[in-house]
Homo-oligomer: A and B are copies of this chain.
């Protein structure tokens, strides 16, 4: 390819709207341009990198036996209503009605479509297992799209769906995807961790996230200092404190706590540490009241609560809920909650007794609250938000929170979709059984952004050679010098014929502009042909990743670039 006949516009200045390096550099290097909030045009350089990622993904999917098809983006709402996702996704779903007033949506994932296809076409256990995948744009109406390709509203995803006869088969298909994903992210040269995760709006049970390490990442994971535990922060389960036998429980006493509607205020007023308080958080779950109890120094992890109550949508009480259901905000306590409310407690609540908690009237708390004497707990669940320094559930070691970008997510779905959609096959014994499913996503456009986060410096991008838009650039440093032009062309031709993905910068720009652009775009290997070098019979080479410079004779320049490329990350 010749840059003179290509479209690779670069920006000298940092775009004001870009808050993170990948966003800034993908804009500056001419990989993408914004069209609306969270919606981008992929420019030719970005498209080349995206296609390289797609190719890696396709090769590893095919190697694992998956079969490619392509499902629509524009979907009818009815199957989504059947699975409950139409409601569950809330405002995150792009909804529209067609000219005949039929509800439609833009697909964020495709479980409903693929399940209906498989149910129609693969009715027998002999047709299973099967793994169907596609690479297609997906849609999520994020409340606050930001960080360029990291949190977009239109993004390119590979999504695969496995269908098995039984749970054992589902787990085998899952493991095959787990292995394929390792190969994919390894080939993309990403630094990543694989963690237990939380299923969110997809549903199901066991699932893992592939998280590319990144300082700017919004996806938090937890790792044990001893290296034996890794989890998504929202799914991480700390080792709960042991139950301490405090002997005879204190009596329940009502105390006056004026203007002390927060844990900190009560704690200061009574001279007791926050962990002695029992925090009672109220939620609405499909119209029912759910109380969640955690120690006063902890927060509720709402993602865990959503999972416990799945598929019922859940939201914190608002002002109206408190008023209508007769609770006093800031002074709620679990004693006196009637049978209408479900009372859930985090495991850590087992570690305490003689709690201070709200008295269910303004400006009052109680002390010496104990279960089951004073209040009921319907169920203990893991509901607490993990924090730095919590104890590892495996060995009690110290947990640390790390930041990352989720680039892959695989799920064991079981019958989460086949059940409500009535998608069954005829098993060997003649009975109808729902398919055991799995769902497996990879963010193609996100991999590009994550790679840009991991591979850049002050001069620009330095993407790994597997992802860079071109592997080698040949720069003509003196465009007016005919001998330079001739040597540039010769080296470009030699590299092309060797199968190297090479571009020649034959534009009529100053050498300095070309060097800066080559660093900004981050071609892994640069060859510079200039007047002085041609006179001396040499070309200059640079390995972008390290900045190491070297020289080769003009006749050996292509050969030297190939060697340098093989050493490039």
Contact residues of A with B, CB < 8 Å?
Answer: 5-7, 9, 33, 35-36, 39-44, 47, 50, 65, 67-76, 91-92, 94-96, 98-99, 102, 104, 106, 113, 116-117, 120-122, 130, 132, 137, 139, 141, 143, 153-154
Contact = CB atoms under 8 A, between A and B. Distances in A.
B72 A143 contact: no
Contact of A139 (B41, B71, B74, B153): B74
B154 A67 contact: no
A92 B73 CA distance: 17
A91 B95 contact: no
A32 to B, nearest CB: 10
Contacts of A95: 96
A44 B67 contact: yes
A9 B120 CA distance: 10
- A70, A143, A153 pick with most chain B CB within 10 angstroms: A70
Contacts of A44: 67-69
Contacts of A47: 68-70
Contacts of A43: 69
Given A47-B70, A68-B44, A69-B47, A35 B141 contact: no
Nearest to A99: B91
A39 B105 CA distance: 12
Shortest 3 CB-CB contacts between residues of A and residues of B: A96-B96, A9-B121, A36-B76
Contacts of A91: 99
Given A95-B96, A141-B98, A36 B74 contact: yes
A315 to B, nearest CB: 16
B69 A36 contact: no
15 contacts: A5-B65, A6-B67, A33-B120, A35-B113, A36-B75, A40-B72, A41-B69, A44-B67, A74-B139, A74-B153, A91-B99, A95-B96, A96-B106, A98-B153, A99-B141
A42 B67 contact: no
A41 B71 contact: yes
Contacts of A76: 35-36, 39
A99 B96 CA distance: 12
Nearest to A116: B35
Contacts of A50: 70
Nearest to A42: B70
A156 to B, nearest CB: 9
Nearest to A139: B74
Contacts of A9: 121-122
Contacts of A71: 35, 41
Given A35-B76, A74-B154, 18 more contacts: A5-B67, A7-B69, A7-B121, A33-B117, A35-B75, A35-B113, A36-B102, A39-B75, A42-B70, A47-B69, A47-B70, A73-B137, A73-B154, A74-B106, A74-B139, A91-B99, A95-B96, A98-B153
